[in-house]
């Protein structure tokens, strides 16, 4: 077993065929989503805090086929030697399990998501409350079923709240995919693979502020307006779910 021979997944070719079929479907103006949702309907969200006892705070989130666990450690002594600073540091890391995707992956760190998660949370955390120390936010994607980053962001802010880190507001995040003229909210992995464009928003609903926004594909201003409204509305609803989840453990 020292050197593993080259292997391949038997379902690869099947997937490829399915994806091509799906792309044809998405070109039509009218199609139904595989999970039966309407275009502007999010997947049912399940969130719980206290997923791991070793951490200062943790949360588990399950949105359809996307399952994420986030642990928060600290505030604790920084590992990196630091200059004098009167604010704390936030350190984020996102990694995937090898079995999170249909074909077995490498299970490595996801640098891009790590830095995006950092930016989405940074503005919500009151860093001045833990000077000279670091709060570590580690996310592990158990299963990737689409809209991974928004789920990670929402789950991480729940874990931060669970850890008792001072925040201005919870951060909830939702993305939309664009197919021709259609906007599809909270896309699954299959939908994301064929999208024309995407827009993701992370926001602090109570303050009505956007902490992170990314956009790919070609968009007109009117379309951006529409997509942002859709996302912000969904973020608001998601934040209510997160709030009630936090209240549940408190009572």
Partner 1 sequence: MVGLSTGEKHFIHGGIAQDLRSDGRKRLHFRPISVETGVIPQANGSARVRLGATDVIVSIKAELGKPNSFQPDKGKVAIFIDCSPTAAPEFEGRGGEELSSELSVALERCFLGGKTGTGAGIDLSSLIVVEGKVCWDLYIDGLVISSDGNLLDALAAAIKVALSNTGIPKVNVDLGASPDDQPEVDVSDEEFLQFDTSGVPVVVTLTKVGRHYIVDATLEEESQMSSAVSVSVNRHGHICGLTKRGGAGLDPSVILDMISVAKHVSQNLISVLDSEIAAAEANADE
Partner 2 sequence: MRDLQLSLNQTQRVRLQAALQQLQDLASQAAGSSSVTIADTIPVNNEDGILKGHGTSELDGQVVATLCGVVERVNKLVYVRALRARYKPEVGDIIVGRVIEIAPKRWRLEINFSQDAVLMLSSMNLPDGIQRRRTAVDELNMRTIFEENDVVCAEVRGFQHDGSLHLQARSQKYGKLERGQLLTVPAYLVKRRKQHFHHLEQYCVDLILGCNGFIWVGEHLETGENNMLEDREKRPETSKSNMIHEEQEQTFTPLEVRQHICRIANAVRLLAALGFILTVESIVDTAEASASSNIEIKDMLGPEFYVQTVEREVQRRILLSRKRV
Partner 3 sequence: MESSEGTGGLSGEIEVEAYRRLFPLPFYERHLLESVRPDARPLNRARDTTIALGPVASADGSALVKIGDTTMLAAIKLEVMTPSTDAPDEGSLAIEFQMPPICSPSVRPGRPAEVASVISKQLSDVMMSSEMINLKELSLISGKAAWMAYLDIYCLSADGCLFDAALLSAIAAFSHLQIPLVSVNDDGRVIAVFGELPEAKLKLELVNKEKRKLSLGSKPFSLTCILHEEYILADPNAEEESIMDTFVTVVLDSLGQLVSIYKPGGAALANMSTIKACIALTKSRVKELNNILSESLSEMEVD
- Any contact of residue 100 with partner 3 (CB under 8 A)? yes
- Any contact of residue 198 with partner 1 (CB under 8 A)? yes
71 binds, among partner 1, partner 2, partner 3, none (CB under 5 to 8 A by kind): partner 3
Binding to partner 1, residues 92-111 (CB under 8 A)? 111
Binding to partner 3, residues 183-222 (CB under 8 A)? none
The one among 39, 73, 168, 219 contacting partner 3 by CB under 8 A: 73
Return the closest-CA partner of residue 218 out of 198, 190, 193: 198
115 binds, among partner 2, partner 3, partner 1, none (CB under 5 to 8 A by kind): partner 1
Judge if the upstream peptide bond of residue 75 is cis by omega within 30 degrees of 0: yes
Asked if 108 and 96 touch (Cβ cutoff 8 Å), the reply is: yes
The one among 112, 128, 209, 248 contacting partner 2 by CB under 8 A: 128
- Any contact of residue 8 with partner 2 (CB under 8 A)? no
| Tokens encoding 28 | 């039509």
Helix or strand or coil: residue 96?
strand
Nearest-angstrom CA–CA distance, 230 and 226: 6
Return the closest-CA partner of residue 231 out of 143, 188, 172, 181: 172
In the complex with partner 3, the residue whose CB is nearer, 167 or 189, is 189
123 binds, among partner 1, partner 3, partner 2, none (CB under 5 to 8 A by kind): partner 1
| Tokens encoding 87 | 């604010």
Helix or strand run (H / E) with residue 173: strand 172-179
- Any contact of residue 81 with partner 2 (CB under 8 A)? no
The one among 83, 181, 221, 247 contacting partner 2 by CB under 8 A: 83
Interaxial angle between packed helices 148-162 and 111-122, expressed in degrees from 0 to 180 and rounded to the nearest 10: 50
Return the closest-CA partner of residue 29 out of 195, 184, 181: 181
The one among 10, 79, 84, 222 contacting partner 2 by CB under 8 A: 84
Task: Phi first, then psi: give them for residue 214, nearest 5 degrees.
Answer: -130, 155
Which residues make up the interface to partner 1 (CB under 8 A)?
16, 19, 23, 111-112, 115, 118-119, 121-124, 168, 178, 192-199, 203-204, 207-221, 224-225, 228, 232
């Amino acid at each position: 077993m020292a050197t593993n021979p080259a292997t391949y997944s038997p379902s690869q070719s099947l997937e490829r065929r399915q994806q091509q079929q799906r792309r044809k479907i998405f070109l039509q103006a009218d199609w139904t989503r595989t999970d039966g949702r309407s275009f502007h309907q999010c997947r049912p969200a399940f969130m719980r805090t206290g997923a791991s006892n070793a951490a200062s705070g943790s949360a588990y989130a399950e949105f359809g086929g996307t399952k994420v666990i986030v642990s928060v450690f600290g505030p604790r002594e920084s590992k990196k030697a630091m200059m004098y600073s009167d604010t704390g540091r936030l350190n984020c890391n996102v990694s995937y399990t090898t079995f999170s995707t249909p074909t077995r992956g490498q299970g490595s760190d996801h640098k891009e998501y790590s830095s995006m998660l950092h930016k989405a949370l940074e503005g919500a955390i009151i860093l001045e409350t833990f000077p000279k120390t670091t709060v570590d936010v580690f996310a592990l994607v158990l299963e990737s079923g689409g809209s991974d980053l928004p789920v990670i962001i929402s789950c991480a802010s729940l874990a931060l709240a669970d850890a008792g880190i001072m925040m201005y507001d919870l951060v909830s995040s939702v993305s939309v995919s664009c197919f021709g003229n259609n906007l599809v909210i909270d896309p699954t992995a299959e939908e994301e693979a064929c999208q024309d464009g995407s827009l993701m928003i992370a926001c602090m609903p109570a303050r009505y502020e956007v902490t992170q926004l990314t956009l790919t594909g070609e968009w007109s201003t009117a379309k951006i307006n529409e997509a942002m409204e859709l996302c912000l509305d969904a973020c608001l609803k998601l934040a209510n779910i997160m709030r009630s989840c936090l209240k549940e453990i408190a009572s």
